């Protein structure tokens, strides 16, 4: 974590509400009143949603039958120094090759260290709530994902609904390697070219393959 002096906390989380956008094929979240102050001593709300709804993380069991589930992962895996890679100039629907990713990282003067969390800015979150949100984003190829695994990163994230496109080659590289994936992020433009510390803790759901998160970043003011 950065020193609290001259830093700002940035919220990287999209709101979740009745009918909020979900990945195609998943049910929309539903919230309903359970108790009210008119009839009960307290007010509560019940809800139904897939664990991968809204801003969320994926853990190894999401794509790996023998992979760890949410509650089995040490909490220090969900926070750390983060780097922002701007891939907003790539074509929607494009999967970056290993060479394209390496060239982009070098051009942007980024140095990756072990246990870094690498976040990808696509600017796709401006389309949140539109049909194009699930189509017009760049992601990573399996070979690009392998390059990041070789750098020993502990997490990757993106301001789009997925880090990749079907058949999800990046997921199949990252998750068995123990790399946590963060998706449906927003506000990553506020982290570009800045020193930042990322936090996104899951609920301790037992045997679940992911969890909604409140993703935030502490950014050093310039």
Residues ≥6 apart with Cβ < 8 Å to 9? 216, 217, 218, 219
**What is the pLDDT, as a whole number, of residue 78?**
98
Which has the closest alpha carbon to 15: 215, 221, 173?
215
> Which of left, alpha, beta for 88 (phi over 0: left; psi -120 to 50: alpha)?
alpha
> Sign of the CA dihedral 131, 167, 125, 64?
positive
74 neighbors 201 (Cβ within 8 angstroms) = no
Structure tokens given for 48: 């139904």
**What is the pLDDT, as a whole number, of residue 125?**
87
Cα 17 from Cα 28, distance rounded (Å)? 9
Confirm whether 76 is domain-assigned: yes
**What is the pLDDT, as a whole number, of residue 1?**
65
Structure tokens given for 152: 């020993």
148-196 pLDDT, tens per residue? 999 999 999 999 999 999 999 999 999 999 999 999 999 999 999 998 9
Q: What is the CATH number of the domain that holds 73?
A: 3.50.30.50
Confirm whether 28 is domain-assigned: no
Element at 196 (helix H, strand E)? strand 196-199
Range of the domain at 62: 7-13+51-220
Confirm whether 112 is domain-assigned: yes
Confirm whether 159 is domain-assigned: yes
Confirm whether 94 is domain-assigned: yes
Residues ≥6 apart with Cβ < 8 Å to 29? 16, 17, 18, 19, 20, 22, 47, 48, 49, 53, 54
Length of the chain: 222
Confirm whether 89 is domain-assigned: yes
**Number of structural domains, the chain?**
1
Q: Which residues of the chain have pLDDT under 50?
A: none
Confirm whether 153 is domain-assigned: yes
Structure tokens given for 116: 């870094």
Confirm whether 122 is domain-assigned: yes
């Amino acid at each position: 974590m950065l020193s609290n002096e001259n830093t700002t906390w940035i919220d990287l989380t999209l709101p979740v509400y009745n009918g909020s956008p979900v990945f195609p094929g998943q049910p929309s979240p539903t919230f309903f009143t359970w108790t009210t102050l008119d009839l009960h001593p307290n007010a509560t709300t019940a809800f139904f949603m897939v664990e991968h709804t809204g801003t969320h993380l994926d853990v190894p069991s999401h794509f790996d039958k023998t992979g760890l589930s949410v509650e089995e992962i040490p909490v220090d895996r969900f926070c750390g120094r983060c780097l922002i890679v701007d891939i907003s100039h790539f074509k929607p629907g494009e999967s970056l090759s290993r060479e394209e990713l390496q060239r982009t990282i070098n051009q942007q003067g980024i140095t990756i260290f072990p246990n870094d969390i690498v976040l990808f800015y696509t600017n796709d979150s401006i389309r949140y709530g539109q049909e194009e949100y699930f189509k017009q984003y760049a992601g990573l190829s399996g070979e690009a994902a392998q390059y990041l695994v070789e750098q020993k990163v502990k997490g990757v994230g993106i301001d789009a609904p997925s880090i990749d496109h079907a058949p999800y080659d990046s997921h199949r590289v990252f998750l068995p390697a123990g790399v946590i994936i963060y998706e449906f992020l927003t506000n990553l433009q506020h982290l570009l070219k800045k020193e930042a510390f990322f936090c996104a803790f899951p609920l301790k759901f037992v045997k679940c393959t992911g969890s909604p998160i409140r993703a935030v970043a502490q950014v050093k003011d310039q």
